[in-house]
């Protein structure tokens, strides 16, 4: 699902920051992969919808993958499970 | 994507409530459709992962669909856009 530099890690910044990052890949004709964990999953979905419906005409969803990641806590070494999502956004088809 | 009674609307209750609801459909051999909007999208993903990884061996993801819904505010009549997700969970294949 694309090389490293097409990945956009969704964190706690303003949604539009991630929209811009995703648009940069798409404008170069490359797919953009939105990655999010836990509570930021909702924001990743927002980013996808804004990119596709408002900014990049013709862009569409590719694969959407849901998974669980194990996160280890540095303080006590405990491991917790966190849900994650990968949303692939495909650039508009070339004319 | 299935008839009405296989839909599980994800709200603000404890995650396990929705896990139970989804499992009821699956135990009858029917797919379960998790529906969520806005901030509850993360919880819907949690429900899917818990059902598939912990409770229903052999269950798997079907279609995952992301969309935007228009919600009208009853007080001032304004309309806002809210992201939504539909996660289909398929029952284990019959032997």
* Tens of pLDDT, residue by residue, chain A (95 residues): 445 569 999 999 999 999 999 999 999 999 999 999 999 999 999 999 999 999 999 999 999 999 999 988 888 889 999 999 999 999 998 86
Number of domains making up chain B: 1
DSSP state of B3: -
Residue A22 lies in a domain: yes
Residue B54, burial from CB neighbour count under 10 angstroms (0-12, 13-18, 19+) = exposed
Residue B55: per-residue pLDDT: 94
Residue B1: per-residue pLDDT: 44
Within 3-62 of A, beta carbons closer than 8 Å to B belong to 38-42, 45-46, 48-49, 53, 61
Per the structure, the complete domain to which residue B67 belongs is given by 4-90
Residue A53 lies in a domain: yes
Residue B75 lies in a domain: yes
* Tens of pLDDT, residue by residue, chain B (95 residues): 445 569 999 999 999 999 999 999 999 999 999 999 999 999 999 999 999 999 999 999 999 999 999 988 888 888 899 999 999 999 998 86
- From chain A, the residues in CB contact with B48 under 8 A are 66, 83
User: Which residue blocks in B1-95 are alpha helix, DSSP H?
Assistant: 15-27, 41-50
In the 3-class helix/strand/coil scheme, how is A9-60 assigned residue by residue? ECCCCCHHHHHHHHHHHHHCCCCEEEEEEHHHHHHHHHHHHHHHHHHCCCCE
Residue A69 lies in a domain: yes
Residue A95 lies in a domain: no
Give the residue from B13, B56, B65 showing the smallest Cα distance to B35: B65
Global ipTM: 0.84
- Answer whether B50's CB lies under 8 Å from B42's CB: no
CATH number at residue B31: 3.30.110.20
Residue A36 lies in a domain: yes
Q: How far is CA B8 from the centre of its chain?
A: 5
Distance in angstroms (rounded) separating the CA atoms of residues A10 and A7 = 9
Residue B69 lies in a domain: yes
- From chain A, the residues in CB contact with B41 under 8 A are 41-42, 45
Residue B95 lies in a domain: no
């Amino acid at each position: 699902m694309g090389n490293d530099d097409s990945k956009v890690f969704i964190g706690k910044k303003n949604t539009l920051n991630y929209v811009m990052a995703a648009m940069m890949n798409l404008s170069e004709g490359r797919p953009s992969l939105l990655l999010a964990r836990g509570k930021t999953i909702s924001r990743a979905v927002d980013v996808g919808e804004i990119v596709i419906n408002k900014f990049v005409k013709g862009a569409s969803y590719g694969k959407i993958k849901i998974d669980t990641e194990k996160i280890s806590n540095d303080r006590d070494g405990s491991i917790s499970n966190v849900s994650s999502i990968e949303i692939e956004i495909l650039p508009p088809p070339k004319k």
